[in-house]
């Protein structure tokens, strides 16, 4: 198949990618819209006419963004959503009014944290980054189908290079915990989730994508230690010399995944720098690893996740 590309690239901003799109009458949910990429993603979608629901763990923290959007003539509301608690996810979905949902941006995430567990006992990175978003999407499928053309965007990461998904011990119950491996598993899960969601739901008008936003200084890295940075090959003393994206640039691929006309009629793709990612070459930090594109693993992960959630009831 021909690789899908766009006129945009590494340095493009979310506003540049969204230019020319009219989202009036469209509804979007953005998780994690209290800082960084989530804020910019929500702001750009609202500025083009979308009604945006800011789904966040701390509603008070998103109030200023909602006020800003409304003051600029946009539409935004705030709703409580704690992805680390499946009962909170269920409460969010139960409170949703059922209106057609055109865009679901699974943006919230946690990275390289110490060993912690969700309310239902899942390893925190897996629970928040994948399982919580999986459950949210599953519960909102009727609204996504009602849109008559919807996109689900899972913000993954090149961190998926660090680990395939481990079906034998996904929650580090029998093996020593490694924060980077845990993050890698969760980001591989994001890519596999989008792949399988697209396969299952494309006939209902739902297309799904995963993506690498790029290296950006945001609160996502709050758990990063010098030891972890050194494991990643980043000299803490020279970190300022690395080429980082701005938040505006880091949000661009999310916006392209949500709106890009080049992606019409396609889905299940892993995107990077506003283009379909190339296969990753050994020793390079860009591109997509084969285990994040494996259809059999994607189907297996879907089945495993459904069973894991069912077991918490």
Look at residues 4, 29, 11, 7 and name the one whose alpha carbon lies nearest to residue 20. 7
The span from the CA of 15 to the CA of 274, in Å, is: 13
88-121 burial code (b ≥16 CB/10 A, e <16): bbeebbeebeeebbbbbbbbbbbbbbeeeebebe
- Counting Cα atoms < 13 Å in the Cβ hemisphere of 121 gives 6
What SS3 state is found at 276? strand
Pair of tokens at residue 224: 């990063």
3-state secondary structure of 51: strand
Do 83 and 57 contact (CB within 8 A), yes or no? yes
SS3 percent helix, strand, coil of the chain, rounded to 5, is 45, 15, 40
* Helix/strand/coil for 205: coil
Neighbours of 46 (CB within 10 A): 25
Q: Which CA distances in Å does 234 have to 96, 230, 231, 293, 295?
A: 43, 5, 7, 27, 33
Q: Is residue 266 exposed (0-12), middle (13-18) or buried (19+ Cβ within 10 Å)?
A: middle
230 burial (CB, 10 Å; 0-12 / 13-18 / 19+) is exposed
- Laid out side by side, the sheet with 206-212 consists of 75-80, 51-56, 27-31, 103-106, 150-155, 206-212, 269-272, 275-276
State yes or no: is 183 an active-site residue. Answer: yes
**Residue among 177, 183, 242, 270 flagged as catalytic:** 183
Catalytic residues: 183
């Amino acid at each position: 198949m021909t690789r899908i590309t766009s006129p945009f690239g590494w340095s493009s901003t979310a506003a540049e990618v969204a230019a020319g799109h009219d989202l009036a009458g469209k509804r979007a949910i953005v998780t994690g819209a209290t800082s960084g990429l989530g804020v910019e993603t929500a702001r750009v979608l609202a500025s083009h006419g979308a009604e945006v629901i800011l789904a966040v763990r701390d509603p008070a923290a998103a109030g200023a963004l909602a006020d800003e959007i409304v003051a600029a003539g946009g539409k935004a509301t705030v709703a409580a959503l704690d992805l680390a608690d499946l009962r909170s996810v269920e409460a969010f979905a139960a409170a949703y009014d059922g209106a057609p949902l055109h865009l679901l941006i699974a943006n919230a995430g946690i990275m390289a944290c110490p060993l912690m567990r969700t309310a239902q006992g899942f390893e925190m990175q897996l629970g928040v980054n994948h399982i919580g978003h999986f459950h949210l999407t599953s519960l909102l499928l009727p609204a996504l189908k009602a849109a008559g053309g919807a996109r689900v965007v899972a913000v993954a990461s090149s961190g998926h290079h660090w680990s395939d998904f481990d079906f034998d011990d996904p929650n580090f119950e029998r093996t020593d915990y490694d924060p980077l491996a845990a993050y890698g598993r969760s980001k591989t899960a994001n890519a596999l989730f989008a792949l399988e969601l697209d396969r299952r739901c494309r006939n209902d008008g739902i297309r799904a994508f995963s993506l690498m936003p790029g290296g950006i200084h945001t609160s996502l890295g709050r758990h990063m230690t010098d030891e972890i940075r050194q494991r990643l090959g980043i000299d803490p003393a020279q970190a300022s010399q690395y080429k980082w994206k701005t938040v505006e640039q880091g949000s661009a691929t999310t916006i392209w995944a949500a709106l890009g006309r080049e992606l019409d009629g396609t889905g299940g793709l892993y995107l990077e720098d506003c283009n379909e990612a190339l296969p990753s070459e050994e020793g390079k930090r860009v591109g997509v690893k084969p285990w994040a594109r494996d259809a059999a693993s994607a189907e297996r992960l879907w089945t495993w996740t459904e069973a894991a959630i069912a077991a918490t009831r």
